[in-house]
Structure 1
Amino acid sequence: MHPAATFELVLGMLGAVLLLHWLAARLRWPPSIALLIGGGLLAFLPGAPRVALDPDLVLVLFVPPLLADGAWNAEVARFRRHLPGILSLAIGAVLFSTLIVAWVAHWALPSLPWAACAALGAIVAPPDAIAARTVLQRVELPRRLETLLEGESLLNDATGLVLFRFAVAAAMGAQVGPGAAAGRFLVLILGGIAVGLAVGLVWSLIVRRVRDEVLIITCTALSSWCAYLAGETLGVSGVIAVVTSGLVLGWQQHVVFSAATRLRGTSFWQVMIFLLEASVFILIGFSLRAILVRAGGIEAVLGGLVGPLLAILLALTLARFAWIFASDALLVALRRLGLARERPLGARCATVIGWAGMRGVVTLAAALTLPETFPGRDFILLAAFGVILVTVVVQGSTLGLLIRWMGVRRTAEDAAPLDLMAAEQAMMRAQLARVENLARDEDGTVIHPQLLRRYTARVRAGEQFTGSTEERVQAIASHFDIIIAAVAAGRAELVRLHRANRIDNATLRSLELDLDLEELGAESAKA
């Protein structure tokens, strides 16, 4: 394809992304569903170019920043508290699902070698971080379930990819013993953690010494790719390196970023993640045409492969439920013996976690990396796409309904030790103490009385408010609605003066920035 035509295709794809996102919002669908279906339909339009995904490029381009974004926003304390449960899902459930899918695949297609069946199981076993996040951000779960699913999606790709590499090596004739595989897995994980910590440390040192906001934001954006490539180059898990560095960056950014850097960096990062996330799913949809052609067309699929595909999908779904319910039953037994303090999930929460197993880009990219001579490659590609399509569309679209039907919701146990009002009051007292110290001269004379009155009034207003949190929020909203309206009036006047050539561009931008910051502060306080 000519470079100009490739650029036109990219522009057309971005236009389709915007249209499909708008459509998803109107239909109240998770965007991933609209993008996946839309991409698949666009691929069959007359004259539509064939899109062949380079698996190595897909992994290195999309996976690091999207994983880093999830790690960046993870709650480290909750992550650490629920680490046993996360590891049970990210390692145990993936390994168990791989074995069950391998057994069912060999049963359904006896001609498929065991190693190829294991490779298929490793490809489809790990739920995808990107697919999970696009669905989970539209539902409200108890904090524990949210942490378990987010943590699982961040770590399980490493397990799946390691199992996949061993299975491919075995299928191509290499001898891989269980002991050697376990040792290699441990090296990959620990090495990935070490690389991620090193990247996070280097990033922190750079950010603390650089004053240019653009350089800081660029350095932060590149850190995920640096961690991934460094990990892969050193022969350890690039996925674990990205997650570890993302956790470090997310923890440190509150103390190393200035307010302006945080505002500008967040805006840039949100746009980049939106484009990457949307591109992933529409590209997966575009790849359907090439996969069907390799499988012999839709007739061949409907003729002899539907049965094995349905068997694999059913086995994958049931294996996840079996592991989760068995793990919860084991936790119940351990609590009765006094060997565990963690509460069991219960049937309703376990059902929700079992259904939240959407697959995505890592599954397809791993399948595409199979050598051309790999036994059963075309069937594995078709199975991988079928699993992605069904889990994203069916499970992704019904997860919210299941949560409501099961009555799973946040409770008082999910609340932080300090509620909004208490935290805000503590913050304002700290501000007042600092202002009282700085607003007075050495002899105690007040040199900034307006500032002192302002912060004193804020603290007293909070202390004297006797209503509930909801009433406080309503009062704050009404207060800041007036500020936002005043900002809008000021901005309109600036534009009028600029249009009348009474102020220049520099004056307009300078005063408009003040208004923008005031509006952002008011909207943040109102929210």
Structure 2
Amino acid sequence: MTGAISGGFVEPTQLFELVIVMLLAIIALHYVAHRLGLPPSVALLTGGALLAFMPGLPVIALDPSLVLVIFLPPLLMDGAWVIALGHLKRHMIGIASLAVGAVVFTTVVVAVVTHWLLPSLPWAACATLGAIVSPPDAVSARAILQRVKLPRRLLILLEGESLLNDASGLVLFRFAIAAGVTGAFSTVDALGSFFILAIGGALVGIAVGIAWVLLVRRLGDEYLMIAASVMAAWPSYLLGEMIHVSGVIATVTTGLIMGWHQHTVLSASVRMRGTSFWTVMIFLMEASVFMLIGSSLRGVVERVGGFGVVIDEMGGPILLILLALTLARFAWVFGSDVVITVCRILGLRRYAPLGSRSAAVLSWAGVRGVVTLALALSIPEGFPGRDFILVTAFAVILGTVLLQGTSLGLLIRWAGLSEPISEKARFSMSQAEAAMAQVQAKIIESRAYDDEGNLVHPRLLERYQRRATAIVDYVGQEEQYAPQLHAHFDLVLEAIAAGRAELIRLHRSGDIDEETLQELERDLDLEELSAISAKS
């Protein structure tokens, strides 16, 4: 990221000051969004745009390739790490329909509408615009999905789409740019290239994922294991791009492998510490993306001659393109649902239709973000219609984030979606806890007596048996026991707070040293987290 002032460059200290200002603004804007009940992405995008026009601040000029390399790999990795792999495989046809089919269809629709509105713009330029705005953004999707409650099928479809559709958009973009520069385009070559990029990216991701599993099993130091886990996103992406396959699919594949194996190769301590660090890092990265998008508005507007030129000369076509973009997604989603319904009528009942309300939510969730802006900024100088494409891409980001981002929650509440029985897990949370408690009790029972039959762990045996009995009794009667359960853990939390206060008093009075404070406080922290989790 570089900034320019009157043709010069920002000094390193000024750039650092800008970063600090941006981080402080992120904290303030998140607080404002929380108080006003707004999606943080909306507040951050708006705040970044306002910050860009503050007097005395430099124009923020984003290096698109650098933005993608810095932000996209860890954000893709984060989504792949936590996604339910079983559900991902179960709904892969639907995800592929959105990540490939919807992207191609939207690209064609936007290209046709753009050429109809601006006949002087070459078809290659129209296709380039379509490829830029067609894939919904993983960062934007995550920012919105974290604040809403959706049935598992819809959630998996949206998360899976956001992880994979960037690869489709990037392939279409590269071929559209090549067609604009050379005047030649081959559908066969484009399809072949896509499959090569996808398969190659998956192989790279598998290799990096396996290397990570082998590495962390041999690392004895917790901090090295956390560092290796955090760093894995960039090697997979960079290696994929280096050998000219899909870095996006490579990163996603690596993340899926890491997420599957992290339960067995990472210790509880590594997971707790690593998750805390990773969560904060992803929070700052997601927030920075929206701030940078907003901050780049000034440079985009100044490039085309100011807001007057944008509104007077580009406003009408841009609004119609945004409308076509939105309607294209609705048409694809609802059309796919109609196809599934017809197939069921004909006897092919493997897939169930979403239904109109779920389809409406899925259609409205196509928010664009950093990938759209980075692709627009990477268009070569002198490319036909570059300024119009850049402004339209920015308008699409603003329109989808501000409009769809603020109204998606309302649409979901209106739809009143519920989890279908077929999508629900076979065991509920309390049933899973009961199964674990019974297995643990059996282990304790088998080891509670010595070889001569004497009971050597009476308290441990009593504790685990009592816990297993209580949890089994709780299954199916959650609502009845809820008030008693809450009262129990409220008291536990009060006891923990009292113990913490006493621990701090002992330390400040000089009765215990720093090491004792840290060890006992860590025990209290784990006990508090366990109580909060059990209460919720």
Are 2:414 and 1:373 equivalent residues in the alignment?
A: no
For residues 512 and 336 of structure 1, what CA distance do their matches in structure 2 show? 62
Question: Structure 1 counterpart of 2:86, which letter?
Answer: A
Cα deviations by residue, 1:60-99 (Å, 9 ceiling, x for unpaired) = 0000101111111101111111110110011000000000
Which residue number in structure 2 is paired with residue 247 of structure 1?
Answer: 256
Are 2:205 and 1:166 equivalent residues in the alignment?
A: no
- The verdict on how the C-alpha distance between 1:465 and 1:240 changes in structure 2, with shifts beyond 3 A counting, is closer
For residues 183 and 46 of structure 1, what CA distance do their matches in structure 2 show? 50
After TM superposition, the score normalised by the length of structure 1 is 0.98
For residues 173 and 479 of structure 1, what CA distance do their matches in structure 2 show? 72
Are 2:61 and 1:52 equivalent residues in the alignment?
A: yes
Which residue number in structure 1 is paired with residue 312 of structure 2?
Answer: 303
Which residue number in structure 1 is paired with residue 244 of structure 2?
Answer: 235
Contact preservation (8 Å) 2:430, 2:474: no
For residues 93 and 465 of structure 1, what CA distance do their matches in structure 2 show? 46
Contact preservation (8 Å) 1:140, 1:409: no
Are 2:346 and 1:337 equivalent residues in the alignment?
A: yes
Which residue number in structure 2 is paired with residue 133 of structure 1?
Answer: 142
Cα deviations by residue, 1:225-245 (Å, 9 ceiling, x for unpaired) = 111001101110000011111
Larger CA deviation: 168-177 vs 198-207: 168-177
Q: Offset of 1:6 from its aligned partner?
A: 0.6
- The equivalences for 1:439-454 within 5 A come to 439-454=448-463
Which residue number in structure 1 is paired with residue 116 of structure 2?
Answer: 107
Contact preservation (8 Å) 1:31, 1:134: yes
For residues 360 and 516 of structure 1, what CA distance do their matches in structure 2 show? 37
Contact preservation (8 Å) 1:140, 1:410: no
Q: Offset of 1:411 from its aligned partner?
A: 4.5
After TM superposition, the score normalised by the length of structure 2 is 0.96
Contact preservation (8 Å) 2:434, 2:475: no
Are 2:83 and 1:74 equivalent residues in the alignment?
A: yes
For residues 63 and 345 of structure 2, what CA distance do their matches in structure 1 show? 51
Contact preservation (8 Å) 1:420, 1:469: no
Cα deviations by residue, 1:230-284 (Å, 9 ceiling, x for unpaired) = 1101110000011111111111111111111110011000000000000000100
- The equivalences for 1:43-442 within 5 A come to 43-173=52-182, 175-442=184-451
For residues 176 and 437 of structure 2, what CA distance do their matches in structure 1 show? 58
Q: Offset of 1:339 from its aligned partner?
A: 2.5
Contact preservation (8 Å) 2:304, 2:310: yes
- The verdict on how the C-alpha distance between 1:135 and 1:466 changes in structure 2, with shifts beyond 3 A counting, is closer
For residues 427 and 473 of structure 1, what CA distance do their matches in structure 2 show? 20
For residues 421 and 66 of structure 2, what CA distance do their matches in structure 1 show? 45
- The verdict on how the C-alpha distance between 1:474 and 1:418 changes in structure 2, with shifts beyond 3 A counting, is farther
Which residue number in structure 1 is paired with residue 6 of structure 2?
Answer: none
Equivalent residue in structure 2 for 1:11, among 8, 20, 23: 20
Which residue number in structure 2 is paired with residue 39 of structure 1?
Answer: 48
Which residue number in structure 2 is paired with residue 508 of structure 1?
Answer: 517
Contact preservation (8 Å) 1:21, 1:34: yes
Question: Structure 1 counterpart of 2:280, which letter?
Answer: V
- The verdict on how the C-alpha distance between 1:102 and 1:234 changes in structure 2, with shifts beyond 3 A counting, is same
Contact preservation (8 Å) 1:43, 1:285: yes
For residues 368 and 227 of structure 1, what CA distance do their matches in structure 2 show? 24
Which residue number in structure 2 is paired with residue 461 of structure 1?
Answer: 470
> Aligned with 1:172: secondary structure?
helix
For residues 70 and 462 of structure 1, what CA distance do their matches in structure 2 show? 32
For residues 513 and 237 of structure 2, what CA distance do their matches in structure 1 show? 47
Q: Offset of 1:474 from its aligned partner?
A: 3.5
Q: Offset of 1:524 from its aligned partner?
A: 2.0
Larger CA deviation: 103-112 vs 464-473: 464-473
For residues 73 and 229 of structure 2, what CA distance do their matches in structure 1 show? 12
For residues 360 and 286 of structure 1, what CA distance do their matches in structure 2 show? 13
> Aligned with 1:47: secondary structure?
coil
Equivalent residue in structure 2 for 1:493, among 499, 502, 522: 502
For residues 445 and 208 of structure 1, what CA distance do their matches in structure 2 show? 39
> Aligned with 1:268: secondary structure?
helix
- The verdict on how the C-alpha distance between 1:215 and 1:80 changes in structure 2, with shifts beyond 3 A counting, is same
In structure 2, the gaps of 5 or more residues are: 1-9
Question: Structure 2 counterpart of 1:83, which letter?
Answer: M
Question: Structure 1 counterpart of 2:120, which letter?
Answer: S
Q: Superposition RMSD on alpha carbons, in Å?
A: 1.3
Q: Offset of 1:408 from its aligned partner?
A: 2.2
> Aligned with 1:51: secondary structure?
strand
Question: Structure 2 counterpart of 1:80, which letter?
Answer: K
Cα deviations by residue, 1:318-375 (Å, 9 ceiling, x for unpaired) = 1111111111111111111122421111111111111111000000001111111211
Question: Structure 2 counterpart of 1:331, which letter?
Answer: I
Q: Offset of 1:406 from its aligned partner?
A: 2.3
Contact preservation (8 Å) 1:59, 1:362: yes
- The verdict on how the C-alpha distance between 1:370 and 1:255 changes in structure 2, with shifts beyond 3 A counting, is same
